[in-house]
Structure 1
């Protein structure tokens, strides 16, 4: 009993420290979200062997289920992104809110914010996940405040809604029309939207026939399952020792990928952009810029022992041009206070691949690095002629996404 009391006291201390930290970071900006973070016992929604320090780390996600291949398919999101998404949703007392992707903890936070006059519905496609979430919510006093259902949100939630806010806690490649149809006029939708393999958690507000972004956050999530799932296409580049570099394409797969066979056996060259950045400064929007404006863009993973995996300071983004492959690299700059961006490349068309990447690094430096982009989501049945001129668009199954960077 003494140890239990000590753990409860320690958890309360860590909960208060977490709320203070998130407030200082700007992830919490309203009293309602702060109160929810302070009230809900975060550790009770984690696996029983989770250390309190892990449960209350602001940047720690905790996996709750893996598939047969060991891939994470359900998790408790990091505290910083949970707080941020709650803020992005602009929740108020009395609202009806849908959560897509159950775990229990986030639904408890939502229930605290919308209060006893509000309504919370949490859905997941996996009965194991919903059973766990419903049990934890019941055990911790939220059983009558949150309805947990098994459903594939790609088809909406039958007999529920409309919703004042929808919060999606799994990576979504597109927005399903039945789900969007359950959002009230002027309602908010917060979701981690996958755009050419790069994810941003976007807060959208419904405006007549489309969605307009109100906020943006960098985060990663387990991908959506069910009919909304959109798996990447993966190609292997073997080296001379049989180890592989994997290139993952969300869309826009280059033709004749066979031209890259044995490309890692060619001499590697490099090219530098002249664009620098100081240590400790985020350049996450460079990745987003690549995803939108660099044809042949891909994500990279490398087996241990390959030249790419062994190289210090490389980043997992690349580009393919015919028989050329280049990847983002850095070298020391600014008298040791920062780095310069560049491209290292392989293959007979490697120079073209590197030139394409360098061109977009420089374009980002001119037009993207100092501003936050604005997004729109335009369903297939909306008036696409209203998309502002000069705005880039990315096609999806059920509509298009627009993006604009204003210098």
Structure 2
């Protein structure tokens, strides 16, 4: 368990979690990392800690460099338990001069650990702290994605410790972005944004504008999860600038659930209509696609077409659960439409439309319902729905005004 030097006298001392497959409802098929960093200077400083059960990994890596008791300062960029769970034992072992945090971080630390006698040093935005040869400065990033979050910047190294921003749930023996498969990296980065930060996109946009105004040189970004951006940190900054305005790629998603395949048949006919209009699409059956993977596709999509049969005057549980999940993340800037089969009541289409209306989607069709099993004429209507969405989407992408019909 050796530390990894990321720049001279600054080390990664975190932990690799190869086994986690669920992160509060978000599927993490590739595991994750809990990143922590050690700065060797006149004042030796530990940036963040790790999840409680990985404390021994953290301490072993620190010991490969120095005696942990020599650490002077500890910086807590984020109080969520995957980064602070080991903090009480680490503080007890190290006995630091300062535990550095934001104003809201101080409040959160007290609420989590009830330790009033820790040597808290509450920093203000823009405050600088000398370590000797290096200087730390701090930027509050409230609600990205907790109230306590902040960035720590090392001016002399042009290194940004970015807390949960710019991260990925990706367990790997490699530590840097230029050492891993770029398609996998950007997929996991997009999935992370889609399922954690989409709700906070307006704040991400403001933060990026503020960083651009301050214009600090950034050679390296070290997030609290995943690999460190050193090869091209601008790549993830550019991606965030697109994701935070929910910039779709002109494609459509047909997201559906089905009981006896009637809604599935409708979905495939709608897909045919989209194809006739030259619209790229994906069919996503909620029975086989995890909600967090579907949300990753939603991030870059421009049209969302929801399909579900009616069950007990409502939706199937998978669609109801997915809509609750998506509504909580509040994606915007989307065209929407709904369809579904039914037996004797048919409320599902109305409920899906209502959910999209609450998310401020531009609903371009009042919705299509088919009783029991679709016949040829029904499937022709479905294809026309697909063509209609396709034509509307092309107008939408061309910047033409499109009004919601609901």
Question: Shorter-chain TM-score category?
Answer: 0.3 to 0.5
> Which has more strand, going by share of residues?
1
| Normalised TM-score (structure 1) | 0.33
| Normalised TM-score (structure 2) | 0.33
> Which has more helix, going by share of residues?
2
Structure index of larger Rg: 2
